[in-house]
Structure formats: structure tokens, C-alpha cells
Amino acid sequence: MTGAGMQAVNSKRRSTAEDPAPLGPDSLTWRYFGLMVGFTAGTVPQLLQVMHPVLGHAVDEHSNVKEDPFGRFARSMGPIYGVIYDGPQAPETARTVRGFHEAITGTLPSGERYSALNPEVFHWAHATFVHGLIYGFSQIMGPFTRAEQEQLYAEAKQWYRLYGMTMRNVPETLDDFDAYWDRYVDDVLEYTPAAQWLLATFKAPPVPPPLHGFPEPLWRPLGRVIGYLAVVFASGQLPPVARDKLGLPYGLPQRIVHDVILRAVRWSVPLTPARFRYHRRSYAAWQQVAQQQGVRAATLVRRASARGRAPATAGGS
């Protein structure tokens, strides 16, 4: 092997050895983030991301989301789940996700150059998932104690380290994160053209891929009902300041609808079989761990779902 080749191998070995530890089944993030009920509020991080003026402009210039909104979201979420659930391969998955953003550069209307790998921009996209995990899932699966929320935030920083981004701009504690979040919502987020388009799409969604071939005249009124429910539920999950910037009403009728949906979502989780309760990439990780421990994946998930018990210590079935 040439000297250059040996140097490349050694560099790869160093990179692997120095990778931050991936999250595992003993983490609260494993327990909650991969649950399919997260998609009931999936509109929230999407809206909050494109309300960032740089991210919103980047979506307009680089994304095919307008041609395929459902498919684009599904393709984006798979690798993000992988950063959490891919075990020893998670650092490689994280590098792949980061690589998706390398070519996303351009010029803002102000003339300022932008990059999706700008640390503040990249971290805001991550922060929208973190906030939903800590506070959104607390509404659905909790309420979480403050100690549990702080554990989730510590795990979120561990998850973020896998991307190889600088940690200098990452809030140190959950209290710091809360202050950072409020500042961004108040002072940075805008009703961007991308947010305007996305909100209109949520209100009148196209036929989703699983229903391909569904007659358009029949889908149109059904889609508007589904869109109304999705937007009302998102309105209840959005920060009030962001909701006001989007011009979304949230009076008594919307609160009642939101609460009914929230109750239905809560009730659905324990009634859903484990293999359908999690995203397929997440459940595959549970299956792999269960196989290593000699138990059924459903048994491991059930034990993980029991509050106050560590999922990684499951024994025989």
C-alpha cells in the first residue's frame, strides 16, 4: 500500500475512533423519537424550519419539495432516524446527512451569501426536532418531568455531535436552550414565501403516495378536512409567537379540535402493535437489539414503554 493510501486508512481509523458515541436503547430518545405519532405534529418542525429566512430561501432555490412534498419529507426523515437508531453505523449516517447539505449554497435577496452548513442555520433545523421531542412528546407521552426533559436535551447534544458540526453555538443546558428558542422564535423567524407555500399545501394537501390513483374530485374535499385538522393540531403545538406570525387563528373552536386530536393520539399509542408504533427504521433497530438479548422486539418495546424502567436492561421474555 502506498504512503498516501496508508495515510487515508489511518485517517479513517482515527475518524472512527474519535466519533462521538451513538445513542442506544437505554436512551429516552430511542424510546420516543421514532414513534409514528410524531408525524401527527410533523408539520410543526417543517414550518419552523422554513420560517428561518435562510432555510426558507434555500428550500425555494434547492429543494424539490414543491413537486413532491410527501416524498421529500419521507426521504428526509429516514436518514435522520438513522442518526439515532443506526447504532455503530450512526456516525456514518450522520456524515451522510451532513453531506446532503454541502451543495446548498446561494445568495439571499439582500446579496449576502448563505450555506446550509452555517452552524447557526444547521443547528436551528436540529433544534426544531429537539424541541418537538422534549416538549411535543411530553404532551403526547408524558408529561415528562424536568429531569427527563434535561436528559432528552443531553441526549440531543450527543446526537448533534455525530454530525461533526461545531458545538460552540449549541446551548449548554436545557434552560439555555429554552432561552435560545424564545429568541429565535421572537427575533429570527419570519413568514417567508416558503412558509406561506407550505402552510397552503398543508391546508389543501395533494393525494399522498399511498393513495396514488385516488380520484382527485373525491380527494379534494377529503384532503381539505384532513388539512384543516392537521393545521389546527399544528397551531396548538406551535409557539404562540410563531403561530401569530403565520396568521393562524387559535380560539376556542381550534382549542377544542386540538384537544380532541391530542386525546385520540394519546389513546392510540398503547393500542397500536409495536411494529406499527415505530417508524420502520426505528423498529428495525429495536428488532436488532431484541435479537441480541434473546427477546421479542415487542417485549423490549413494552418494557421500554414502562415509565421509570431502563429499556436496555431487559432480560428474557
Q: How confident is the model at residue 59 (pLDDT cuts 50, 70, 90)?
A: confident
Cα separation, 92 vs 280, in Å, equals: 19
Q: Taking 50 as the threshold, does the pLDDT of residue 1 lie above it? A: no
Cα separation, 177 vs 170, in Å, equals: 8
Q: How confident is the model at residue 302 (pLDDT cuts 50, 70, 90)?
A: confident
Residue with the larger pLDDT of the pair 179 and 41: 179
- Span 33-52, mean pLDDT? 92
Q: How far apart are the first and last CA of the chain?
A: 50
pTM, two decimal places: 0.87
Instruction: Determine the pLDDT at residue 103.
Output: 86
State the chain's mean pLDDT as an integer.
Answer: 87
Cβ–Cβ < 8 Å for 15, 94: no
Give the number of C-alpha atoms closer than 13 A to the C-alpha of residue 134, restricted to the C-beta side. 23
Q: How confident is the model at residue 64 (pLDDT cuts 50, 70, 90)?
A: low
Residue 105: strand pairing partners: 115
Instruction: Determine the pLDDT at residue 253.
Output: 96
Reference 136, options 260, 266, 3; nearest CA is 266
Cα separation, 165 vs 308, in Å, equals: 33
Reference 119, options 54, 57, 182; nearest CA is 54
CA distances from 111 to 52, 107, 108, 194, 207 (A): 17, 6, 5, 18, 37
Strand segments, DSSP code E, in the chain are: 105-107, 113-115
- Give the DSSP per-residue string, 252-310: HHHHHHHHHHHHHHHHHHHHS-HHHHB-HHHHHHHHHHHHHHTS-HHHHHHHHHSTTS-
Residue with the larger pLDDT of the pair 129 and 40: 129
Residue with the larger pLDDT of the pair 218 and 308: 218
Cβ–Cβ < 8 Å for 203, 248: no
Cis before 20 (ω within 30): no
**Tens digit of pLDDT for each residue in 109-166?**
888 998 999 999 999 999 999 999 999 999 999 899 999 999 999 999 999 999 999 9
